Amino acid sequence: MINIDNKKVQLYFYTMSIERNKKSADETPYNIDEIIEAFSHLLIFITKKELIDRKFELKPKNKIIWLDSFTDLKSSNFNLVFKSAKYLQSRVVRNTDTMESRGVLKKPEDGDEELTHICVRFRKDSDRFVIACEFNYYGIGTEDIKKYLNSQFQSLQEVTGDSYVYCVSFEMMPSADFLTELTKMKKINILRLTMDIDDIAQGDFQRFAGRDELRPTVEVYLRKKSGKGNNISQKMITEVYGDTGSTKKIKKIAVEGANESGCLKIDSDSIQMKHSIVVETLPQTNEVVTGDFFAKADEFIKEMGV
């Protein structure tokens, strides 16, 4: 019987956005249901491929990655299992108990397989995807996953002839530690909000939504009223922070001000939400047991309401 041990695994939280652009002029309004359907079709498209056709080369890292499997949890929620393997890393293997050399056991094209687990959760109250990503030092991160999914979206578009082009991106979710850092500021002069251009309900910005030459976000600067003694209150920023993050209209905020040491800048992007869970592992490889990881991660996600 295989003995199962436990280890602590770090979860990092992100917002996942999927942009949809048409090659020709398009006045079609943004429809999140169609975005969700496109993402679901992409996962099916990938996993129907032969394994050799799923792989994607990260050449600067001498690594390949692929989507190994996914589970559709319904309600636009998914669990994804990515695998990766780093090649061109053959070394002499040594028994660390006896110090006996066993020689080079891998060919240059051989790579150690690594798992990276991803929870994708859709928040209906804000039309946002929240991502909980397992941190695996030897695995992959969101930048690698972004490249992989965008490459597969392009492959799907070439097969289907779809007139739309999809692009995946990730943003870090802010942590409540932002509020702790905020208390260190004595004066606050500028509050900067970053929002999706589509989320600005009124005004001139709305007519720029969906333009290919523009970023999909806008930045709004709020400055303190001129005059000595005027200041943006921490209470106001705390209130704005409550409307910030993956489940809100405001994607991130930044604050500029000062304390006794001089000028100080903090932003919700640099203080990322993370959480540790203890999961079962197989001792032979020390890999996370997939079922236990998703059970523990989902428990925390539901508890926190992220």
Residue 100 lies in a domain: no
65 & 134 share domain = yes
Whole-model pTM above 0.75? no
205 & 152 share domain = no
Residue 156 lies in a domain: yes
118 & 131 share domain = yes
227 & 280 share domain = no
- At 1 the pLDDT is 42
Ordered per-residue pLDDT tens for the chain, 306 residues: 445 689 999 999 988 989 888 766 666 777 889 999 999 999 999 999 999 999 999 988 999 999 999 999 999 999 999 999 999 988 999 999 999 999 999 999 998 999 999 999 998 877 789 999 999 999 999 999 999 999 999 999 999 988 888 999 998 787 767 777 777 777 888 888 777 666 665 555 555 555 556 666 777 877 877 877 777 887 887 777 666 654 456 667 778 887 765 676 777 666 678 889 999 998 888 899 999 999 999 999 988 776
- At 128 the pLDDT is 82
14 & 75 share domain = yes
26 & 113 share domain = yes
Residue 284 lies in a domain: yes
276 & 262 share domain = no
Domain count, the chain: 2
- At 122 the pLDDT is 93
Residue 97 lies in a domain: no
159 & 117 share domain = yes
Residue 96 lies in a domain: no
Containing structural domain, residue 133: 5-90+105-173+272-304
Amino acid identity of residue 192, one-letter, is R
32 & 110 share domain = yes
- At 268 the pLDDT is 66
155 & 294 share domain = yes
Residue 203 lies in a domain: yes
Residue 220 lies in a domain: yes
- At 242 the pLDDT is 66
212 & 189 share domain = yes
62 & 126 share domain = yes
Residue 99 lies in a domain: no
